[in-house]
Every structure is written in structure tokens, then in C-alpha cells.
Amino acid sequence: MKNIAVIGSGTMGNGIAHVFAQTKYKVRLIDISQEQLDKGMAIISKNLDRMVTKEKITAAVRQMTLDNITAHTTLDAAAESDLVIEAATENEKIKLSIFKELDALCGPDTILASNTSSIPISKIAAVTNRPGKVIGMHFMNPVPIMKLVEVINGKETSSATSATVMELSRNLQKSPVEVNDFPGFVANRILMPMINEAIISLQEGVAGVMEIDSVMKIGMAHPMGPLHLADFIGLDVCLSIMEVLHDGLSNDKYAPSPVLIELVKAGDLGVKSGQGFYRYERGSKELIVSDRFAKN
Ligand SMILES: NC(=O)c1ccc[n+]([C@@H]2O[C@H](COP(=O)([O-])OP(=O)(O)OC[C@H]3O[C@@H](n4cnc5c(N)ncnc54)[C@H](O)[C@@H]3O)[C@@H](O)[C@H]2O)c1
């Protein structure tokens, strides 16, 4: 494999493009928005600068990585790729239409992968004429740092496709793990109910925000407490994944906490909106519990 296309230049897409380009693949980064492409390239450049400063890579590797990426605004730039990784907005209609178009554009040997957090890989594969070559590659945020890639086999993903993607992920210095196509896969099926339970504990008054996070940090050696992590992921994203688990697994143990629903309705989405369980102020690293949950 030589030529990779990454669809979507948001949080995940620019990270995925970075990692492939630094491993000497030629990457075409594609987004419908030129502004998002510019932003994505600026983030890659900034992250590379930081790596040079920390002496993790040389200035020559930084330059090679940037030279390996070209930015495009139309999907036909993906036509010559050996592998396409779709990391566009988490919306089923958008993803299905991208895969339909990619299937028509790309050669029969191209593997089409999705970075989706919650849409079934088999459903995506079904809109193509190559279900054996459709697979999930679920990277974690931030992509250049996090080692895990959940490799998701759809019902019809061929073993050759899985083997290729596992090997490719190892080439990126990642640690891929193969899982099957169930709602939430493994990472979100286990992580999100834990976050939801932390919110229910808060709602029932078991403990405050800081205390719940401290128990998990100190007691379970989690680098970040579940409520703080939820703010980072985005409470809207947490809610939508809980809804996928609740609907997909038909079990009320996955029902999203009313407090989570309320926060999303109020626009308190965590770090991205400036407030969730904590309040985020520019330039400040101090953790301050948001007014809604602050104790008197
Ligand atoms: N953010 C995370 O922590 C995380 C973690 C793992 C997986 N994911 C998954 O990765 C995917 C991307 O998430 P994100 O957080 O990077 O989203 P994002 O909103 O930061 O970026 C999405 C990008 O897709 C672009 N886009 C929308 N429609 C498009 C189209 N038709 N063609 C090309 N580009 C299009 C948007 O312009 C935007 O730049 C989602 O499927 C999400 O579930 C996200």
C-alpha cells in the first residue's frame, strides 16, 4: 500500500492523515470545507513542530510528513487510493452517501474503512459492491498519541482485508485489536456505560463531581476521571453513543442518564462549549466544577 485517502479533516481526520504521512504513505486529505482543510493542515503542522521541539522527530521528518499530504475538496481525489479511511461527520446519511460514491470511484482492490464510533460496519458495507473490502478502523483521539486501533470486521469483511488492515496498523506503530460489529464495538460499549453510571451517581447524590473523578483516578489509576473525560469527548457525543447502545442492544441498562440529556439540551457540551461537569476558561488548567454541580 502506498496511496491513502482520508475523508474528513476534523479532529480525527487530520490526526489519521498525520500518522500515515509520517509513516511515509502518500496521503490525500479530503474535506468538503476548505476552511476545515486549512485548519487540519495547521494542526498537523503545529503537532509536528511540538514533536521536533521535544526531539521526538527531526526537522527532516517533519518536512517529509508535510510533503506527503495534499489537500482536496472533492471525493474524486480518492480514486487512485489503495485504502480510503472515512472520518467525516458522524451522520449515517453522510457516511452512506460517501461510501456509495467511493465504491463507484475507486478500483476493485481498494479497501474502504470507516472511523465511525457507532454506525454498523455491515450497514455501511451494504451500500457498496465490495462488502468484503469494507472494514472499521476506529482510531482514538488524539490519533498521533493513542496506540489503539479497534479493527472492526463487518459480517462480510474478508479475512484477507482484516489481515491487511491489522498489518498496516502495526506499520503505523499502533496496536490494533480485532473486534466484531456490535453496537459500540468494545471501547464505547464499556467506556460509555461507565461514564453514564458516573453521571447517575452524581444525580443520586452518591458524591460530587470532583469526588467521583478522584475515586476513579486514585483508586483505579485512570488518567482522567469519567466526568472530566465525558467533557473532553463531548456530552452530545456521549449521549448519542448511549442512544446507539440503548436502541441497538434493546436493554434499559443502557438508558442515558436524565442529567446527561438535560445538559445536552442546555448546550452544556463540555470542553467545546466551555462548560459541562467542569467550567473551562481559556489559558487556565485549574479544574473548576461548573456552577450547576458546585456545592454550596
Ligand atoms: N472525536 C473523537 O474523539 C472520535 C473518536 C473516535 C472516532 N470518532 C469518529 O470519527 C469521525 C469524525 O469525527 P470528528 O470528531 O473528527 O468530527 P469533526 O466534526 O471534527 O470532523 C468531521 C469533518 O468531516 C467533514 N465532512 C462532513 N461531510 C463530509 C463529506 N461529505 N465529505 C468530506 N468531508 C465531510 C466536515 O467538514 C468536518 O471537517 C466520526 O465518525 C466520529 O464518530 C471520533
Whether the Cβ atoms of residue 138 and residue 87 lie closer than 8 Å to each other: no
| 165 shares its domain with 77 | yes
Which of 160, 180, 200 is the last residue before a domain boundary? 180
Kindly give the distance from the C-alpha atom of residue 254 to the centroid of ligand 1, in angstroms, as a whole number.
24
Last residue in a domain, options 146, 180, 214? 180
Is beta strand 83-86 parallel, antiparallel or unpaired with respect to 26-30? unpaired
- Assign residue 278 the CATH number of its domain: 1.10.1040.50
pLDDT in 10s for each residue of the chain, 296 residues: 999 999 999 999 999 999 999 999 999 999 999 999 999 999 999 999 999 999 999 999 999 999 999 999 999 999 999 999 999 998 999 999 999 999 999 999 999 999 999 899 999 999 999 999 999 999 999 999 999 999 999 999 999 999 999 999 999 999 999 999 999 999 999 999 999 999 999 999 999 999 999 999 999 999 999 999 999 999 999 999 999 999 999 999 999 999 999 999 999 999 989 999 999 988 888 899 999 999 76
The answer to whether residues 123 and 201 belong to one domain is no
| Shortest-distance Cα residue to atom 40 of ligand 1 | 90
Instruction: Tell me the CA–centroid distance for residue 86 and ligand 1, in Å.
Output: 8
What is the structure's pLDDT at 263?
98
Residues 16 and 141 grouped into a single domain: yes
Query: Which residue of 90, 116, 119 sits with most ligand 1 atoms within 8 Å of its CB, as the best mutation to test the pocket?
Result: 90
Q: Which domain holds residue 74?
A: 3-180
| Residues 94 and 236 reside in one and the same domain | no
Do residues 247 and 201 share a domain? yes
The secondary structure of residue 25, as a DSSP letter, is: -
Cell output for 210: 470532583
Q: How many domains does the chain have?
A: 2
- The residue whose CA has the least distance to atom 11 of ligand 1 is 87
**What are the grid coordinates assigned to 127, written together?**
451500500
Beta partners for residue 153, in sequence order:
135, 180
> Distance, CA 170 to ligand 1 centroid (Å)?
23
The torsion defined by the Cα of 106, 158, 27 and 88, in degrees rounded to 10, comes to 80
Same domain, 211 and 162: no
Joined together, the cell numbers standing for residue 157 give: 469483511
Q: Do residues 231 and 84 share a domain?
A: no
| Catalytic positions, written as ranges | 117, 138, 150, 188
Clarify whether residues 20 and 88 are in a common domain: yes
From 131, 152, 180, give the residue that closes a domain.
Answer: 180
**286 plus 148 within the same structural domain:** no
pLDDT for 272 equals 87
Residues 13 and 125 in one domain: yes
Verify cis geometry, omega within 30 degrees of 0, for the bond prior to 176.
no
The whole-angstrom separation of Cα 201 and Cα 208 is 9
Do 196 and 165 fall into the same domain? no
Pocket of ligand 1 (CB under 6 A): 7-13, 30-33, 36, 87-90, 94, 98, 115-117, 138, 141, 233
Locate the ligand 1 atom nearest the alpha carbon of residue 36 and give its number: 39
Pairing type for strands 148-153 and 83-86 reads unpaired
> Domain with 173 in it: what CATH number?
3.40.50.720
